[in-house]
Amino acid sequence: MNDDDVIVLSFGLDRHRVGRAFFAEDDIGAIVRCHFETERAVDHALKKFTDGRFKSDGSRGFRNFGDKIEVLRLLGVGDNLLSPLRRHNDHRNQFAHRGQDELTVEQVSDLHRMINALIPDYGKMKFTFKGNRNFESLYSELTLRQKYVANMMALINLVAALPEVAKRNKDNLKDS
């Protein structure tokens, strides 16, 4: 890996919240924490793309997560990244509005398939947490909940990286 492959994110992922999602005792807690961090990453990307003009408080008609995903689409973000955002939003809504309280193998597998399309061999990675609780495991050895959170961590970072990737691509076009 060389320096051109490294992207420094201007987004501060709340590692404590993600860690609590990863080690949550129930799927509802994991889903809510993942959704909160995902929405923060989407808000971050939208603020960066609009030079701070995007307001996440609903004052400009962006009242829900689906509206924000639509704005990303209008800004040119592809379905390969929007589809897992929409799928996660569907999962979150099933928990929040339809009474679901446990993740299914199908939900986790579907989300993983989408993430693996963005990051080939993602499922072969080793996951390490260090801090209050140390943990290291291959993806295949994670619990269903941990697999979901691991996939969401990847998605959150991909969304948070959008402004930096767009800027880099724009700068590279200027240099050509």
Q: How confident is the model at residue 16 (pLDDT cuts 50, 70, 90)?
A: confident
pLDDT for the residue 1:
47
Instruction: Specify the pLDDT at position 155.
Output: 96
Over residues 26-39, the mean pLDDT reads 95
Distance CA 27, CA 151 (A): 14
Distances (CA, A) of 52 to 56, 61, 77, 103, 158: 10, 16, 18, 36, 20
Split at pLDDT 50, 70, 90, the class of 166 is confident
Among candidate residues 50, 1, 44, the one with its CA nearest the CA of residue 156: 44
pLDDT digits (tens, 9 = 90+) for 92-151: 999 999 999 999 999 999 999 999 999 998 889 898 877 778 889 999 999 999 999 999
Local structure of 128: helix, strand or coil = strand
- CA-derived radius of gyration, the chain: 16
pLDDT at 56: 66
Q: What share of the chain is helix, strand, coil (3-state, %, to 5)?
A: 65, 5, 30
The answer, yes or no, to whether residue 171 has pLDDT greater than 70, is no
CB 41 within 8 A of CB 71: no
CB count in 10 Å sphere of residue 30: 24
Burial class (CB within 10 angstroms; exposed 0-12, middle 13-18, buried 19+) of 88: buried
Contact 30, 145 (CB under 8 A): yes
- 75: its two tokens: 């800004």
In the block, tokens 């959170």 appear at 149
pLDDT band at 169 (very low <50, low <70, confident <90, very high): low
Query: Residues 18-46: what's their mean pLDDT?
Result: 93
Predicted pLDDT of residue 134 = 83
Structure tokens at 124: 């072969």
Whether the pLDDT of residue 161 is over 60: the answer is: yes
pLDDT tens per residue across span 37-96: 999 999 999 988 887 777 666 555 567 899 999 999 999 999 999 999 999 999 999 999
Q: Which amino acid appears at position 101 of this protein?
A: D
Whole-angstrom distance, CA of residue 78 vs CA of residue 76: 6
